[in-house]
A = this chain, B = another copy of it.
Amino acid sequence: MNIHAKRIKDLQYVLRQNRLDALVIGRTLEIGFLTGFHLDGCTMLVTRSAAWVFMPKMLLEHFRSRVAFVNAVAPEGTPEAAALARIKELKLKRAAFEPEAETYKRGTAWRKAGLLEKDGLTGALRAVKEGAEVEALRKSCRIAARAFGIVKPRIKTGRTELSVYRELEDTMQAMGAKGNSFSLIVGFGPNSAMPHHETSERKLKNNEAVLLDYGCVYDNYCSDITRTYFHGKPSDEFKKVYSIVAAAQKAGLAAVKAGVKARSVDAACRNHISDAGYGQYFIHGTGHGIGLEIHEFPRLNTTFDAVLRPGMAVTVEPGIYLHGKFGVRIEDSVLVTRTGCDILTRTA
Contact = CB atoms under 8 A, between A and B. Distances in A.
Contacts of A57: 283-284
Contacts of A10: none
B100 A102 contact: no
Complex copy number for this chain: 2
Residue among A59, A105, A323 with most chain B CB within 10 A:
A105
B105 A103 contact: no
Given A39-B196, A62-B197, A169-B173, 10 more contacts: A57-B283, A58-B284, A58-B321, A59-B195, A62-B194, A100-B103, A102-B103, A104-B108, A107-B107, A179-B183
A61 B108 contact: no
Contacts of A61: 193-194, 323
A257 to B, nearest CB: 27
Nearest to A324: B61
Contact of A108 (B39, B99, B198): B99
Contacts of A323: 61
24 contacts: A56-B284, A57-B283, A57-B284, A58-B283, A58-B284, A58-B321, A59-B195, A61-B193, A61-B194, A61-B323, A62-B196, A62-B197, A65-B194, A99-B104, A99-B105, A100-B104, A102-B104, A104-B106, A104-B107, A107-B107, A166-B173, A169-B173, A170-B170, A179-B180
A110 to B, nearest CB: 9
Interface residues of A, number: 35
A205 B65 CA distance: 21
Contacts of A106: 104
Interface in A155-207: 166, 169-170, 173, 179-180, 183, 193-198
Nearest to A100: B105
A75 to B, nearest CB: 14
Given A166-B173, A170-B170, A180-B179, A196 B58 contact: yes
Interface in A87-116: 99-100, 102-108
Given A104-B108, A108-B104, A59 B170 contact: no
A169 B104 CA distance: 34
A125 B183 CA distance: 26
Interface string A38-70: 110000000000000000111101100100000
Residue among A61, A102, A104 with most chain B CB within 10 A:
A104
Contacts of A105: 99-100
Contacts of A166: 173
A119 to B, nearest CB: 9
Contacts of A170: 170
